[in-house]
Structure 1
Amino acid sequence: EDVDGASDPADLAILGQNHSSRQAAATEEAPGPWEHRLRKAGLPPAMAASAELRELAGWLQRDMIQENPNVRWDSIAELPGVKRVLKESLVMPLRYPQFFTGLLQPWKGVLLYGPPGTGKTLLAKAVATECNTTFFNISASSIVSKWRGDSEKLVRVLFDLARHHAPSTIFLDEIDALMSSRGDSGEHEGSRRMKTELLVQMDGLLSCDAQVFVLAATNLPWELDMALLRRLEKRILVPLPTCIARACIIETVLPRGRVNPSL
């Protein structure tokens, strides 16, 4: 700060306090990887220059996970095959990008599908924990707007934010609510434009080197648009739990010593 003309002792005392505060802040413990990533400049320059885009980005930033979900693979019972494929397709490329080049480039889109309640969202949180990336937890309410043109703008801003905060993962929960098959005569024009914009943005991920991945989940894969399925290159079935998995879930949920032995 410029101290020229600060001849009043009270002013000098205030400046001294401010200087001490800055020194104390500088000596604080270094932030962990999650905190360091979240302190990165919040918006790309082009987005920061537009009041409208800043407002839209503010809506989406509420869905950024701002702390480690702390969901480990061990927290999820069974599903060894699903975990292995998720590690190969999302975790390993982010940890060892030098090995995933050329013909070994990772998939940019992964779809988790299966019956409700099988752990698809929990698996997504485990990916966020293991990858230690910016994680956008997006649902239909995040990018669907009643205002004309805002839905496709929100989709565009979402992917711009993901590139800016790369490496990042965009998790689209219940994607069937967003990307059902096109061509229905009763479909609203705004819905068609939003779907087209989402497909265009996913195409953009395939043609750029940014470490941005799309992870989607649905209970109704047969209702998804075929163009979207082509872009979600890897599709993983999350089945109902086996008897062993159900026993593991019960042991985890119910505290030991408080359950009737007959159970």
Structure 2
Amino acid sequence: MSVTEICENTKMGREYALLGNYDTSLVYYQGVLQQIQKLLMSIREQERKHQWQKVKTDLAKEYEHVKDISKTLNGFKTDAVEPPPSSAPAYRAPAPYSKPQEPARDPDVWPPPTPVEHRPSPQYQRGARKEPPRRSDPSKPSNRVSGRDPPRPSGGRGPSQGNADRRGDQRGRGGGRDEKKVNRKDRDAKGSEEGDEKKFDPAGYDKDLVENLERDIVQKNPNVHWADIAGLTEAKRLLEEAVVLPLWMPDYFKGIRRPWKGVMMVGPPGTGKTMLAKAVATECGTTFFNVSSSTLTSKYHGESEKLVRILFEMARFYAPSTIFIDEIDSICSKRGSSSEHEASRRVKSELLIQMDGVTGATGGEDSTKTVMVLAATNFPWDIDEALRRRLEKRIYIPLPCPAGREQLLHINTRDVPLEDGIDMKSVAETLEGYSGADITNVCRDASMMAMRRRIQGLRPEQIREIPREELNLPTSMEDFKEAIKKVNKTVGKDDLVKYEKWMEEFGSV
């Protein structure tokens, strides 16, 4: 839910309340409260959620205040109307299409209110254009007798326009559709000029599927930089050449130098493949789509293929964007096996078709519409051959080298107090064969050694009375040695041999 839309609707509700149009103001307040309730359901940060709850409480008080004023005014109107005699009807409508002579009317008695067609406010429709409330013009007759001044939806028909349509102006209907298209283009251009955040239009697609994809996989800024990743110098260089440079130098990467359609990162688990993908999206400033097998899986027949198609349509809309498919072997394993299900085969076919049609595959198109597909897998030998062909750049992400292990130790312990004289270089040499995730676990275990010694043999009541300073003791060299004994490496030598053989046959670095 857009925060800008909530602010605009709140502003409209307050303006209508100031103009005395309390019924329309209540409609806006109700819509804003519903929008804030939906927004609260999507917020996970407690501090931000508490702030929005406070905003909702304040707006609810305003709503109740406006409601009381409207109720009081309606009570005055009811008391002011003199009830007619029981023998005579309260109001007799004139005959249709007749113009009888208007009878004499008592100036102290209000006429009956004109019925108004209740329509949903255009501000709550997706993509509708918002207009400021119309203030009364002293030169025109006022329609404030009933205390209502309903909003005029953009593109709606007033009385004169409705009469014109009833007279048979057929061109107005076709022109209305064209005008809506023009207004939509102008609105999109205006939004981009004002710096508003783009919103994918679900028209023509399943709205629930679009909302699920936007909620689960769209990340505007992963906030992971190259400096946050230790080592992997060669992998960073190849990813920068394949993904980042085409966005920085679009004039160079044309024709035969066109950007790669897709990049696949291959390596043992825990080597930083997912962090590399997020760093690519951060350095490029692109929209990041983090896709997993559960995101594109549905129990309904044919819905998984729709999810794949909508995913790539959204990526083209938010382009330049990066689609990262983690553990791609679970989605696109080899086709033709006896255990393969028909639905799984259709999803693979749709994914291959969409990858062939991603923008940026030809050098003549706009570089700002580039969609880069990044994939990561621990089982490259299970990937389908057609997908392997579309992932033109295949990069091996190895275990960290000695310099990378030392850098990773410094990154993981930058917020932990250390004793003087700790030789991180010797610790890095001891961790040969450990992956990046294994080294992180070693640092986490070593940083808790001092706390374990302090609370050993104490009861829970005594632990709660320990000052914080006594728990946050510096980590020593002995703590690292003890942690290394407890945390073993997760990647075996036989696994490394399989990765090296596959890269010798299918690698593209």
Instruction: Indicate how the Cα distance of structure 1 residues 77 and 198 shifts in structure 2: closer, same or farther if over 3 A, else same.
Output: same
SS in 1 for 2:333: coil
Q: 1:144 aligns with which of 297, 304, 312?
A: 297
How far did 1:223 drift?
Answer: 0.3
Moved more, 242-251 or 226-235: 242-251
Deviations 1:163-194 (A, max 9, x none): 11111110001101100000111211000000
2:259 alignment partner in structure 1: 106
2:233 alignment partner in structure 1: 80
CA distance in 2, matches of 1:53, 1:95: 35
CA distance in 1, matches of 2:278, 2:203: 33
SS in 2 for 1:110: strand
Q: Which amino acid aligns with 2:203?
A: A
- After the TM superposition, which residues 1-263 of structure 1 pair with which residues of structure 2 at under 5 Å, given as runs? 1-4=133-136, 5=142, 39-43=197-201, 48-50=202-204, 52-205=205-358, 206=361, 209=365, 210-254=369-413, 255-257=416-418, 258-262=474-478, 263=480
Q: Is the 8 A contact 1:64 1:134 kept in 2?
A: no
Deviations 1:98-144 (A, max 9, x none): 22111110101000110000000000110111011111000001111
CA distance in 1, matches of 2:268, 2:143: 69
CA distance in 2, matches of 1:67, 1:187: 35
Q: Is the 8 A contact 2:265 2:273 kept in 1?
A: yes
Instruction: Indicate how the Cα distance of structure 1 residues 96 and 256 shifts in structure 2: closer, same or farther if over 3 A, else same.
Output: farther
For normalisation by structure 1, the TM-score amounts to 0.82
How far did 1:247 drift?
Answer: 2.0
Q: Is the 8 A contact 2:220 2:286 kept in 1?
A: no
Q: Is the 8 A contact 1:53 1:157 kept in 2?
A: no
How far did 1:77 drift?
Answer: 0.6
Larger Rg: 2
Instruction: Indicate how the Cα distance of structure 1 residues 3 and 228 shifts in structure 2: closer, same or farther if over 3 A, else same.
Output: same
How far did 1:66 drift?
Answer: 3.6
SS in 1 for 2:200: coil
Q: Identity rate of aligned residues, in percent?
A: 50
CA distance in 2, matches of 1:232, 1:127: 16
Q: Is the 8 A contact 2:261 2:391 kept in 1?
A: yes
Q: Which amino acid aligns with 2:328?
A: I
2:46 alignment partner in structure 1: none
CA distance in 2, matches of 1:260, 1:143: 47
CA distance in 2, matches of 1:119, 1:75: 10
Deviations 1:40-98 (A, max 9, x none): 1322xxxx323x52221111112344442221101111111000010011111112212
CA distance in 1, matches of 2:252, 2:144: 62
CA distance in 1, matches of 2:219, 2:374: 18
SS in 2 for 1:170: strand
Moved more, 161-170 or 251-260: 251-260
Deviations 1:213-257 (A, max 9, x none): 100000000000000000000000000112222222122112242
2:128 alignment partner in structure 1: none
SS in 2 for 1:191: helix
Q: Which amino acid aligns with 2:475?
A: V
CA distance in 1, matches of 2:143, 2:242: 60
Q: Point out the structure with the larger strand share.
A: 1
CA distance in 1, matches of 2:343, 2:318: 28
Moved more, 94-103 or 143-152: 94-103
- CA-based RMSD: 2.3
SS in 2 for 1:99: coil
Q: Is the 8 A contact 2:263 2:391 kept in 1?
A: yes
SS in 2 for 1:140: coil
How far did 1:11 drift?
Answer: 9.7
Point out where structure 1 has 5 or more consecutive residues left out of the alignment: 13-32
Matched length: 234
For normalisation by structure 2, the TM-score amounts to 0.44
How far did 1:3 drift?
Answer: 2.2
Q: Which amino acid aligns with 2:290?
A: N
